[in-house]
Amino acid sequence: MSATSTVLGAGSHLAASSATGEHRPLIISLFAAFVIATLAITVWAGRQTKSAADFYAGGRQFTGFQNGLAISGDYMSAASFLGIAGAIALFGYDGFLYSIGFLVAWLVALLLVAEPLRNSGRFTMGDVLAYRMRQRPVRTAAGTSTIVVSIFYLLAQMAGAGVLVSLLLGITSDAGKIGIVAMVGVLMILYVTVGGMKGTTWVQMVKAVLLIAGTLLITFLVLLKFGFNISELLGKAAEESGKGAAFLEPGLKYGATGTSKLDFLSLGIALVLGTAGLPHILIRFYTVPTAKAARKSVIWAIGIIGAFYLMTIALGFGAAALVGPDEIKASNKAGNTAAPLLALHLGGTDSAGGPILLAVISAVAFATILAVVAGLTLASSSSFAHDIYANVIRKGRATEQEEVRAARWATVFIGVVSIALGAMARDLNVAGLVALAFAVAASANLPTLLYSLFWKRFTTRGALWSIYGGLVSSVLLVLFSPVVSGKETSMFPSADFAWFPLENPGLVSIPLGFLLGWIGSLLSKEEPDKGKYAELEVKSLTGVAAH
């Protein structure tokens, strides 16, 4: 980006900040109204949370439609609303690949995981893995993996929150942005410790309705601006991008070199396979009373999520056409503010309409972040309490009250860790950060789940090799990748220890996770319990004696 364009972009950003300045009381009021409303829902749900089943699975009282709505709320994260819009606005066609990958991933979850998992476990992924293997080592591994994946995912939400609220409140200092991340962390801890799964589910349902309504409004206004002519919208976006026709063709981000093509392949594999291994999505299948309701909830989720990702075309290309890449990069170099800035421009930067629309859309985005971080924190704290504390440390002798208390303390600890890491990741693209979480989930959790459910020769050693091997390899490759160091957009731009060239480790770590599970099982001296496998097979496919 040239010096001139940087100055112009910065000037536009200052105009945006001053436009929001005079309407700041309204913006703060909208945010406060949402936070108070969701906290009220959480307190109401918390009063109905009396048992471990209530805390972990919402008492299994939600219908297929309600759970589908909550899954949508859990899945359509800051990466979807902020990160993808930014990626499309800056990279055109290549940015839209995130939308396609996130959506196609649901087919894997529906066809292979949703129903068998709901039939086989009680509260966590560890329940399924431990059914036919040695409990303590497998539950420890499953709990560790769940916490690591959740923290990676939480990074993206925290980064999105920092960017969003600092744009609205005109906060430019690093200390201010870190304060915002801390505030989100505190709210997240409150939601989970007070409301459990019931409170979290209701917040996610409210958020899904708000997000779809907000995205529909923006999509309608963008299309109205171009006379409902999508071709004209795409043409204007290509013209304003400064890239011309290349903006609408593959290769702007993932095609210039052999490495970037491999990066795209790695990203695609991680996105498509990652959903079926995400802990906060997996535990949602336990909140419905029957396997039929689990299937129905996934079908509803695919419909709602599909409609949303289709609308990201209007969000991303609309931002490119009406805001322009210079202003977006000046506001946030990773592009995370593209959707809120689009709302400002659609309403008019020199009128009250722009700041009001910006406030509404940003409040919706903030709702998105709060709902998703609550789901993630619940998944990781549940896994710690149920798998590690109750079954490993206490060897199955913990009472329900002790287990729930342990989950609440784990929530506080995970919240503190997420605040610290989120503060460091505040300048990274949130869609890219979520893709890393998908890669870790697909490397460690998915191979172990599929082998447990569908391979009778799978053993405890295979499970441990698969989880720890996939987990360690994916995390190490991320640490030594351009995401962490070596580039202007890295977490530590001034350092360079990125010997692994790809930004997403999925191409290496996912096949490694499957391979290690297979080799570990073949080399194991432990004889697989074929009777237990037969029981699990019947249970997972029919739902007989589930829970």
Q: Mind listing the pLDDT tens digit for each residue in 375-397? A: 778 788 888 887 788 778 887 77
Round to whole Å and give the CA distance between 37 and 55. Answer: 20
Residue burial 281-314, b: 16+ Cβ < 10 Å; e: rest: bbbbbbbbbebebbbbbbebbbebbeebbebbbb
The mean of the pLDDT values for the chain is 81
CB 287 within 8 A of CB 58: yes
Q: What is the pTM of this model?
A: 0.80
Burial class (CB in 10 A: 0-12, 13-18, 19+), 15: middle
485 strand-pairing partners: 492
Round to whole Å and give the CA distance between 181 and 199. Answer: 22
pLDDT digits (tens, 9 = 90+) for 481-524: 888 887 776 777 788 888 888 888 999 999 999 999 999 999 98
Q: How high is the pLDDT of residue 544? A: 62
Write the DSSP assignment of 155-203 as a string of letters. Answer: HHHHHHHHHHHHHHHT--SHHHHHHHHHHHHHHHHHHHHHHHHHHHHHH
Is it the case that residue 206 has pLDDT exceeding 80?
yes
pLDDT digits (tens, 9 = 90+) for 279-324: 877 777 777 777 778 778 888 888 998 999 999 989 999 999 998 8
Task: Please give the single-letter amino acid code of residue 435.
Answer: A
Q: How high is the pLDDT of residue 469? A: 95
More confident residue, 412 or 8: 412
Q: Which long-range contacts (CB under 8 A, 24 or more apart) does 22-29 make?
A: 22/355, 23/352, 23/355, 23/356, 23/359, 24/168, 24/169, 24/170, 26/355, 26/356, 26/359, 27/168, 27/169, 27/355, 27/358, 27/359, 27/362, 27/363, 28/169
